[in-house]
Amino acid sequence: MTDASTDPDKVGGPTPDNALRAADAVEQRGKRGEMLAADGTPLKRSLARALRRQKIRALLLIAPLLLFVLVTFIAPIVDMLFRSVENQIVSDTLPRTTAALQDWDDTTGELPGDAVWDAAYKDIFYAAERKLHTRLGTRLNYELTGVSSLFRKSGRGLDDIGEVYQDQFEDLDAAWDEAMPWAELLGDPEWIGAQAEWDATDQGDRGQMPGFVLREGVEDLLPETAASYREFALYTQVEEGDSPLQEEPWSIVHAMLYQDLSSGADVGSYTGPRAEMLQAAAQLVASPDFETVDVRAQFAEIDEDWHDVEVWQTIKMYSPKYTSGYFLNSVDAQKTPDGVRLRDEDERIYGLLFKRTMFMSLVITFSCIMLSYPVAFLLANLPARTANLLMILVLLPFWTSLLVRTSAWKVMLQQQGVINDVLVWLGLVGDADRLVMINNQFGTIVAMTHILLPFMILPMYSVMATIPPYYVRAAKSLGATNWTAFWRVYFPQSVPGIGAGSILVFILAIGYYITPEIVGGTTGTFISNRIAYHISSSLNWGLAVALGTILLAVVLILYWAYDKIVGIDNVKLGG
């Protein structure tokens, strides 16, 4: 048997046998046609490892910049795009109502049942206390006009329901008008002690307020009362920073106490704190003289629109956390109980604005090409000194405010403006027949062409400056006319500059909103003007983002089509 210490296969250090085996392995790889690195590993594997290390090193170098772009640019855009489908405010503000509406058939034309009205009372009351009902009304008002005022009035009027019960309980026993009896009835004794100690401590030494805890068993005895009092106690502690031991509960807590007592709560066997008070209240509720409130009728008293089935249909349709409603509105459609349908003819504005934006942007791009090409040709073929002087004139508009340039066109194009005055002075038009060149599509095209002209001239000039002049001279020496030399030799080489300028001008044109707003009137505005309106005025950010997303998709589709037809590789900015 071979000793392990002398076996060449088990010796860790270099031995002649090991060296021979390594040399044999290298020789065998060489016979198989594999190229080897200096250390004997396959060259392909060695190159792959080196390339991988270079990529990791490059990634680490750009990681700070990449992280900065993701945080400051990509993340805000993604968050903004998410607003076009986000709809959580309805289900978060009206959780009980939206759940109850799932069992309601909104195609029958009948109002929902009592369970929905009771749930709506609780949800809207709590939302009004938290000042959230107006935000919800604003959201639903985007889908159905008038809902915003409906929620505002309801937030003020639903207090009357609870006050009916509150007054009767207080007439029975004045303790129902105090904070401490409610806390003893519904709060955990240990919490009451901790809260009382916190209340008695000096304000600077208090520390964190003890969180509210329900008394054991009270949730089974008075479920609705316990739930509403918990809402009150937590809001009082967290939002207002006050003690529930010192604040009288909301009126809805009294209404929920009536609901529990009228539902057959077994308070006769209750022996906890305030038992006599609670049992007396149960006897009062059971008496025929106790006044009750019809929640459905109270809603109608606040506003008759609550008995409009379309209001409840709208709440149900927009109860999911995510919605396609914003995108449907962007294409002049809307959700209905029967499915998606187009809006009425007189309400379809966004399709018209999209068509107008595309058409006018193309016209502006074409007019910029027509005006820029001779200017760029002249700059590229003049002596350098003269070309540089003229280039200053091309760049001069960049030194002037966009608002000033647009306002100047408004002054020049109006009926009593400079251009009309000149035309009247020349006798080309009569004083009574002055041309209308402002607050229409013509004014928008003229003003935007002037503003975007440098963005077309510069790419064209940068490409034309690289075209060798001897190409045209060679064509002429071979018998070509001036037109043939230009069209067959010079123009094809300048097309990349036209392509670069066209993409730049077109994308800038569809996104402009200041110039169309000032000189466009009602027929010369773009879809970007509506996006700006919804962002800054109506605050309908979801619709604004949906419109922007559609506009972005259109631009990407046109970019893809341009790449397929012309080829993006043929676009140059010089060189």
Query: What confidence tens digit (pLDDT) does each residue in 500-515 have?
Result: 899 889 999 998 888 9
- What values do phi and psi take at 36, rounded to 5? -115, 150
Q: What does the pLDDT look like over 307-327, one tens digit per residue?
A: 999 999 999 999 999 999 999
* Of 202 and 143, the one with more pLDDT: 143
pLDDT at 18 over 80: no
What pLDDT does 95 receive? 95
Mean pLDDT of 333-358: 88
What pLDDT does 14 receive? 53
What pLDDT does 298 receive? 92
The β-bridge partners of 42 are: 36
CA–CA distances in Å: residue 545 to residues 52, 507, 531: 40, 17, 8
Query: What residue segments make up the domains of the chain, in order of their start?
Result: 350-570
What pLDDT does 41 receive? 73
Q: What does the pLDDT look like over 348-361, one tens digit per residue?
A: 899 999 999 999 99
In this structure, of 10-19, 54-63, 180-189, the range with the lowest mean pLDDT score is 10-19
**Nearest-angstrom CA–CA distance, 501 and 505:** 6
pLDDT at 299 over 90: yes
499 exposure class (CB count in 10 Å sphere: 0-12, 13-18, 19+): buried
3-state secondary structure at position 340: strand
Q: Which of 549, 550, 530 has the alpha carbon at shortest distance from 538?
A: 530
State the CB neighbour count (10 A cutoff) for residue 18.
14
The β-bridge partners of 342 are: 333
What pLDDT does 564 receive? 78
Report CA 542 to chain centroid distance, whole Å.
5
Q: Which of 459, 473, 542, 548 has the alpha carbon at shortest distance from 510?
A: 548
402: Cβ contacts below 8 Å, ≥ 6 apart: 451, 514, 515
Q: What does the pLDDT look like over 243-266, one tens digit per residue?
A: 999 999 999 999 999 999 999 888
**Nearest-angstrom CA–CA distance, 21 and 15:** 10
Q: What does the pLDDT look like over 79-99, one tens digit per residue?
A: 888 989 999 999 999 999 999
CA–CA distances in Å: residue 141 to residues 100, 138, 145: 21, 5, 5
Mean pLDDT of 390-401: 87
3-state secondary structure at position 523: coil
What pLDDT does 44 receive? 75
**Nearest-angstrom CA–CA distance, 574 and 563:** 19
**Nearest-angstrom CA–CA distance, 74 and 222:** 51
Mean pLDDT of 293-299: 92
Q: How confident is the model at residue 1 (pLDDT cuts 50, 70, 90)?
A: very low
Mean pLDDT of 395-417: 88
Contact 499, 369 (CB under 8 A): no
The β-bridge partners of 72 are: none
Report CA 164 to chain centroid distance, whole Å.
43
What pLDDT does 98 receive? 94
What pLDDT does 265 receive? 82
Signed CA dihedral, 321, 323, 528, 364: sign only: positive
**Nearest-angstrom CA–CA distance, 334 and 324:** 9
pLDDT at 19 over 80: no
Give long-range contacts, CB 8 A cutoff, 24+ apart: 473-481.
none
Rounded mean pLDDT of the chain?
Answer: 87
Contact 96, 123 (CB under 8 A): yes
Contact 114, 295 (CB under 8 A): yes
What pLDDT does 328 receive? 92
Give long-range contacts, CB 8 A cutoff, 24+ apart: 208-211.
209/237, 209/241, 209/243, 211/237
- Residue 336: its H or E element: strand 333-336
Mean pLDDT of 432-451: 91
For 350-570, CATH gives 1.10.3720.10
